[in-house]
């Protein structure tokens, strides 16, 4: 029998329901792995040791009842990114400014997963306020990539990505504003899906750029992501931007890929794309062709504007979203003797935010200012519509589009962190999807010459998560890459 | 030297009306009935703006704003948006206010509109630029004046309540006009049943004041209708003195300090706030279909102008009386309740507009803030009519009635019935004649015919108003 950690979440859920393992055994197993692996990987900002074990004991009792079948994830350990609110557990967004903040409520997604029986085992590291692509910009220090501890795990949900790769838990939550789930999924060799904007409630997700982001599952397989998303998705009365569209049975998969039309956007295969990244992607596309899918080239010329458009919108929204962190009501406060509240605000925010967050707040504030608003924000919104229209048009010819998730594989820690522009370029293939609002799944398709994982993204039409996940499942069943573990966790 | 006639002033108002009749706040399910509650207890994660929370629009708030818009002949917009107004201030939990905007592509719920009110014998119409929905910030409390208070206390109970801000064109020309305008606006709002504006802080104003040819000054923090006239008078006097002494008016925002009754500079044009308005990404655009407007129109109750007309025809009272009564919904309701029980509507209005209103004005109260009941007024009028008490006694009953005492009980307890015992009055008359011998002489010599009423007055005084005036006259004539 395989070790528990070698099982996918789907397999574990099955084992739990059939009694092959128990919630306490499973929880103890992962807590032990966390204890052993964390010193090297540093994926978590908080380990919910005692409470998780307590919850597992309760789950064990519930397991014996006839109603146990109703709780799909009963006893399944879950890691939650540090920017997703968890009742009674620290939620600090990797930022000093939220030092000591413990929310009095669960994010809707978290409460849905908890109701389904999942148990939060820990909170995961991230770039401060999800602003970054490497998880180097956390006040808790960087997370290491389990495939090579000198490399970044990607970001901003790098903690969740690394934790899943190292099998510190079977499933995790992240968020994706401009690629923050797909980038670590690609760099860590796991699967992560950014759902259609509005598919999943954002209630409880600490906002970075509201109009772009979604809470997203990350796991070893697309099938695991599907199982999670089935529970997470659906209209939430607490989030006006969540959409009332029925939730498909994502984990059922597709009957056949015969006749599936796949678009290959030429702009995704850019010059900078490394050969050894391209190769496994081409091979994966061949597999899909073997399944009966057809491919055609499509063009999305406007995505060349994606980066500036994305950063403008995200920074503008962020400058307003992050205004509430002033030290008055919660989190860190730097008192200024005899100073007025303006002085307290300034000092608190100066000391509480890291340099990248400060940079984005300042740029966003500038771009929204009188005289610049039309020139930047309004223009960015127009360009966004243009990009969106191009995606819609392309997706009227094809069912899905496929391309690399990232132009490269994981890079060495410390090599890009001082060069914001180079770091922003990391997001070139992920941000267009957030601007368009469509779903996109990143799945592992192989390794580069250095043995680092390569991710491929499958981009679908609005609310067609079932199709995107179904393709991912067909591919992973064939490639079986999820069975290969990184050296550190093996 | 500048003459007073050359001082032409224009005033524009931004009236913030709290929709106090809503059960919950604008974006969360906290009760909007926060008054009198322990500070910071009527809050939740959403109105406290805790990280990750999202606003969900209260649909009734939209309906209330539509009612007000329709009553003010404003145009309801088929697609409206919420915008964020960004600024840092401790009364804001998110450091931005969810509001609406009419620039940068923003569309508020109501555009345009007008309000016509009586100005002496004339009518004046003031136009609205827009009516928009926004959330109320929390409340800052100072220890006395803002300039000397060592602390700022913050209470977020009010935070997130629903405001409709009514922005007028700068068409008012005096503090008095502003007061009359506001009174009419208030009556309309109360007739709509969307707010009880007798509640503290439920109607607050900012005012723009500018003299022709001079810079515009904005006065903020005017907390009630009563303060508006005071603040405007002060600010106009301040500007006038500056102009007279040849100084420039600085374009600035000033704060009305209610305690010291002065305006103080908050910020000048150079440091004027840039609110960085942009569309609220957490709320979707709101579509208001034509049939929805129709539905809300159907909810429209009788408004003040119509009620005045009805009073004139139904109760046959003068237009002036009808207007004064309908100025306050509470008074008009009271009046109607009273005339249901008493068949002399003019008599009722005389009393309400006279002695009762005088007393209410002195104490700055609305009639529904007292314990006076229509039954009490009716009982008093009946007692006067059937001769149990005099009108003069009636006047002395107003204060006890405002405290909830019924006239019959009071009269019985205090024994203030009308004196119709002729022998008793004759004795009083004798006393008055002795004390005013020279005046009596004058009357007898035909020198001072008006002194007769003086003697009647003296008798009333000695009997504490209880003497039957006709019987008193008879006694005087007899004695003369």
Please report, in tens digits, the pLDDT of each residue of chain A (490 residues total): 579 999 999 999 999 999 999 999 999 999 999 999 999 999 999 999 999 999 999 999 999 998 888 899 999 999 999 999 999 999 999 999 999 999 999 999 999 999 999 999 999 999 999 999 999 999 999 999 999 999 999 999 999 999 999 999 999 999 999 999 999 999 999 999 999 999 999 999 999 999 999 999 999 999 999 999 999 999 999 999 999 999 999 999 999 999 999 999 999 997 778 899 999 999 999 999 999 999 999 999 999 999 999 999 999 999 999 999 999 999 999 998 887 888 999 999 999 999 999 999 999 999 999 889 999 999 999 999 999 999 999 999 999 999 999 999 999 999 998 888 888 888 999 999 999 999 999 999 999 999 999 999 999 999 999 999 999 999 999 999 999 999 986 7
A378:B154 CB<8 A: no
A81: annotated active-site residue: yes
| DSSP symbol at A127 | S
| DSSP symbol at A439 | -
**Closest of B385, B387, B379, B436 to residue B410, by C-alpha:** B379
Residues 6+ apart with CB under 8 A from B272: B253
**Domain CATH for A49:** 3.90.1300.10
Q: Whole-angstrom Cα distance, residue A214 to residue A194? A: 7
A319: annotated active-site residue: no
* pLDDT score of B182: 96
Whole-Å CA distances, B44 to A327, B25, B49, B56: 18, 11, 8, 13
Interface pTM (ipTM) of the complex?
A: 0.96
Q: How many Cα atoms are found within 13 Å in the side-chain-facing hemisphere of A420? A: 11
Q: Whole-angstrom Cα distance, residue B44 to residue A104? A: 10
pLDDT-derived band at B6, boundaries 50, 70, 90: low
Nearest chain B residue to A83, by CA:
B52
Q: Whole-angstrom Cα distance, residue B224 to residue B233? A: 15
A239:B86 CB<8 A: no
B353: its two tokens:
């507009």
A189: its two tokens:
């060799």
Whole-Å CA distances, A420 to A137, A357, A414, A417, B398: 11, 11, 12, 7, 78
Nearest CB among B48, B56, B88 relative to A323 is that of: B88
| Residue B231 near residue B263 (C-beta atoms within 8 A) | yes
Q: Whole-angstrom Cα distance, residue A109 to residue A114? A: 9
Whole-Å CA distances, B291 to B110, B294, B297: 16, 5, 10
Say if residue B390 is exposed, middle or buried (CB neighbours under 10 Å; 0-12, 13-18, 19+). buried
Q: Whole-angstrom Cα distance, residue A49 to residue A38? A: 13
Q: How many Cα atoms are found within 13 Å in the side-chain-facing hemisphere of A295? A: 17
pLDDT digits (tens, 9 = 90+) for B307-365: 999 999 999 999 999 999 999 999 999 999 999 999 999 999 999 999 999 999 888 88
A27: its two tokens:
């929880």
The structure's pTM equals 0.91
Residue span of the structural domain in which A474 resides: 4-256+468-483
* pLDDT score of B271: 67
Q: Whole-angstrom Cα distance, residue A16 to residue B249? A: 78
pLDDT-derived band at B1, boundaries 50, 70, 90: very low
A439: its two tokens:
């779903």
Radius of gyration of chain A (CA): 21
**Closest of B45, B140, B48, B158 to residue B89, by C-alpha:** B140
Q: What is the widest separation between alpha-carbon atoms in chain B?
A: 94
Name the catalytic one among A124, A133, A138, A156.
Answer: A156
- Is residue A382 assigned to a domain? no
Name the catalytic one among A95, A138, A157, A180.
Answer: A180
* pLDDT score of B391: 84
* pLDDT score of B334: 97
Q: Whole-angstrom Cα distance, residue A158 to residue A411? A: 13
Residues of chain B contacting A93 with CB distance shorter than 8 Å:
51
| DSSP symbol at B356 | I
* pLDDT score of B89: 92
Q: Whole-angstrom Cα distance, residue A489 to residue A34? A: 10
Nearest CB among B52, B57, B90 relative to A328 is that of: B90
3-state SS class at A164: helix
B459: its two tokens:
């008798």
Name the catalytic one among A81, A123, A194, A416.
Answer: A81
Q: Whole-angstrom Cα distance, residue B400 to residue B264? A: 43
| Residue B469 near residue B457 (C-beta atoms within 8 A) | no
Residue A181, min C-alpha distance to chain B (Å)? 18
Nearest CB among A240, A326, A329 relative to B48 is that of: A329
B34: its two tokens:
């926060």
* pLDDT score of B288: 96
A156: annotated active-site residue: yes
pLDDT-derived band at B270, boundaries 50, 70, 90: low
φ, ψ dihedrals at B374, nearest 5° = -55, -35
Task: Kindly report whether the peptide bond that precedes residue A156 is cis, defined as omega within 30 degrees of 0.
Answer: yes
Nearest chain A residue to B278, by CA:
A368
Residues 6+ apart with CB under 8 A from B301: B191, B192, B193
| DSSP symbol at B88 | -
Interface test with A, best of B24, B84, B277, B278 (most A CBs within 10 A): B278
- Is residue A369 assigned to a domain? no
Residues of chain A contacting B95 with CB distance shorter than 8 Å:
323-324, 326
DSSP string, B244-304: HTTPPPP-EEEEEETTTTEEEEEEEGGG------EE-TTSPPEE--HHHHHHHHHT----H
A240:B96 CB<8 A: no
- How many helices (H) does chain B have, and how many strands (E)? 16, 17
- Please tell me the total count of domains within chain A: 1
**Closest of B359, B372, B458, B464 to residue B411, by C-alpha:** B464
Nearest chain A residue to B87, by CA:
A323
Q: How is chain B split into domains, by residue range?
A: 4-297, 304-411, 422-479
* pLDDT score of B262: 94
Whole-Å CA distances, B252 to A230, B148, B210, B269, B336: 56, 22, 11, 6, 47
Residues of chain B contacting A243 with CB distance shorter than 8 Å:
none
Whole-Å CA distances, B187 to B71, B128, B181, B372: 11, 17, 10, 20
Radius of gyration of chain B (CA): 28
Long-range CB contacts (within 8 A, 24+) of B241-246: B243/B2, B243/B7, B243/B211, B243/B214, B244/B1, B244/B2
CATH 1.10.10.410 fits B422-479, yes or no: yes
How many CB pairs below 8 Å do chains A and B form together? 104
pLDDT digits (tens, 9 = 90+) for B158-216: 999 999 999 999 999 999 999 999 999 999 999 999 999 989 899 999 999 999 999 99
Q: Whole-angstrom Cα distance, residue B370 to residue B402? A: 6
- Is residue A196 assigned to a domain? yes
Whole-Å CA distances, A311 to A166, A273, A320, A403, B216: 31, 22, 14, 22, 39
Tell me the pairing of strands A119-124 and B114-119.
unpaired
**Closest of B425, B349, B420, B413 to residue B381, by C-alpha:** B349
């Amino acid at each position: 029998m395989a070790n528990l950690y070698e099982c996918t979440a789907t397999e574990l859920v099955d084992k739990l329901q059939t009694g092959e393992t128990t919630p306490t055994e499973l929880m103890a197993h992962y807590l032990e792995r966390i204890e052993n692996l964390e010193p090297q990987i540093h994926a978590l900002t908080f380990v919910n040791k005692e409470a998780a074990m307590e919850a597992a004991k309760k789950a064990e009792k519930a397991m014996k009842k006839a109603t146990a079948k109703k709780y799909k994830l009963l006893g399944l350990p879950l890691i939650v990114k540090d920017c997703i609110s968890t009742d009674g557990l620290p939620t600090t967004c990797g930022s000093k400014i939220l030092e000591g903040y413990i929310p009095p409520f669960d994010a809707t997604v978290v409460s849905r997963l908890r109701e389904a029986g999942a148990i939060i085992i820990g909170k995961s590291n991230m770039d401060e306020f999800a602003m970054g692509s490497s998880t180097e910009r956390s006040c808790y220090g960087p997370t290491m990539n389990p495939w090579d501890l000198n490399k970044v795990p990607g970001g901003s949900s790098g903690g969740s990505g690394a934790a899943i790769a190292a099998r510190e838990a079977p499933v995790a939550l992240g968020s994706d504003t401009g690629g923050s789930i797909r980038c670590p999924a690609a760099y860590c060799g796991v699967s992560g899906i950014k759902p259609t904007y509005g598919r999943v409630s954002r209630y409880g997700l600490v906002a970075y750029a509201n109009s772009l982001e979604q809470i997203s599952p990350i796991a070893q397989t697309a099938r695991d992501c599907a199982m999670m998303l089935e529970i997470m998705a659906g209209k939430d009365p607490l989030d006006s931007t969540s959409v009332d569209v029925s939730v498909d049975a994502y984990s059922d998969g597709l009957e056949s890929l015969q006749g599936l039309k796949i678009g290959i956007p030429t702009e995704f295969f850019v010059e900078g794309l490394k050969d050894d990244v391209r190769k496994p992607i081409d091979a994966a596309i061949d597999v899909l062709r073997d399944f009966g899918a057809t491919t055609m080239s499509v063009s999305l010329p406007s995505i060349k504007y994606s980066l500036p458009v994305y950063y403008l919108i995200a920074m503008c929204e962020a400058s307003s979203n992050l205004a509430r962190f002033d030290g008055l009501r919660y989190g860190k406060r730097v008192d200024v003797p005899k100073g007025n509240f303006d002085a307290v605000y300034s000092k608190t925010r100066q000391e509480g935010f890291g340099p990248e967050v400060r940079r984005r707040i300042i740029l966003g504030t500038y771009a929204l200012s009188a005289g610049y608003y039309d020139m930047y924000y309004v223009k960015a919104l127009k360009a966004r519509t243009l990009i969106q229209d191009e995606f819609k048009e392309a997706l009227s010819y094809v069912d899905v589009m496929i391309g690399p998730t990232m132009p490269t594989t994981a890079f060495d820690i410390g090599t890009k962190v001082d060069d914001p522009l180079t770091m922003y370029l990391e997001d070139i293939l992920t941000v267009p999807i957030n601007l368009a609002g469509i779903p996109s799944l990143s799945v592992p398709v192989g390794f580069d010459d250095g043995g680092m994982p390569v991710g491929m993204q499958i981009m679908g039409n609005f609310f067609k998560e079932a199709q995107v996940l179904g393709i991912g499942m067909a591919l992973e069943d064939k490639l079986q890459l999820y069975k290969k573990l990184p050296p550190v966790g093996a | 030297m500048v003459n007073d006639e050359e001082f032409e002033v224009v005033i524009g108002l931004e009236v913030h009306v709290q929709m106090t009749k809503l059960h919950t706040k604008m974006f969360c399910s906290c009760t909007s009935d926060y008054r009198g509650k322990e500070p910071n207890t009527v809050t939740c994660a959403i109105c406290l703006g805790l990280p990750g929370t999202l606003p969900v629009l209260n649909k009734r708030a939209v309906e209330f704003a539509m009612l007000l818009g329709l009553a003010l002949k404003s145009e309801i917009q088929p697609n409206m948006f919420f915008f964020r107004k960004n600024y840092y201030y401790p009364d804001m939990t998110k450091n931005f206010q969810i509001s609406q905007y009419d620039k940068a592509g923003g569309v508020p719920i109501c555009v345009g509109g007008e309000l016509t009110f009586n100005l002496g014998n004339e009518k004046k119409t003031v136009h609205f630029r827009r009516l928009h929905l926004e959330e109320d910030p929390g409340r800052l409390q100072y220890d006395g004046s803002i300039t000397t208070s060592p602390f700022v206390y913050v209470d977020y109970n009010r935070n997130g309540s629903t405001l409709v801000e009514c922005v007028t064109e700068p068409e008012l020309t005096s503090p008095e006009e502003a007061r009359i305008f506001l009174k009419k606006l208030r009556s309309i709002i109360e007739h709509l049943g969307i707010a009880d504006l007798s509640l503290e802080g439920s109607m607050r104003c900012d005012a723009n004041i500018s003299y022709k040819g001079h810079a515009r000054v904005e006065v903020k923090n005017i907390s009630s209708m009563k303060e508006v006239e005071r603040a405007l008078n002060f600010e106009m006097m301040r500007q006038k003195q500056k102009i007279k002494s040849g100084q420039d008016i600085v374009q600035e925002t000033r704060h009305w300090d209610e305690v010291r009754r002065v305006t103080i500079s908050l910020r000048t044009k150079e440091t004027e706030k840039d609110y960085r308005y942009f569309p609220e990404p957490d709320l979707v655009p709101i579509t208001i279909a034509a049939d929805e407007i129709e539905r809300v129109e159907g909810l429209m109750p009788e408004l003040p102008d119509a009620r005045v007309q009805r009073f004139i025809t139904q109760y046959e009272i003068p237009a002036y009386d009808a207007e004064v009564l309908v100025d306050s919904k509470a008074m008009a309701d009271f009046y109607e309740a009273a005339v249901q029980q008493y068949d002399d509507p003019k008599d009722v209005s005389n009393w309400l507009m006279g002695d009762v209103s005088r007393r209410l004005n002195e104490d700055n109260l609305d009639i529904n803030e007292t314990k006076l009941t229509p039954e009490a007024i009716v009982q008093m009028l009946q007692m006067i009519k059937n001769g149990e008490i005099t009108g003069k006694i009636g006047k002395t009953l107003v204060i006890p009635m405002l405290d909830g005492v019924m006239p019959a009980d009071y009269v019985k307890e205090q024994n203030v019935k009308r004196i119709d015992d002729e022998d008793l009055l004759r004795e009083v008359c004798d006393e008055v004649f002795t004390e005013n011998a020279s005046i009596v002489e004058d009357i007898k010599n035909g020198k001072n015919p008006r002194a007769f009423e003086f003697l009647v007055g003296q008798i009333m005084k000695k009997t504490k108003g209880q003497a039957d005036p006709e019987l008193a006259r008879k006694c005087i004539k007899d004695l003369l």
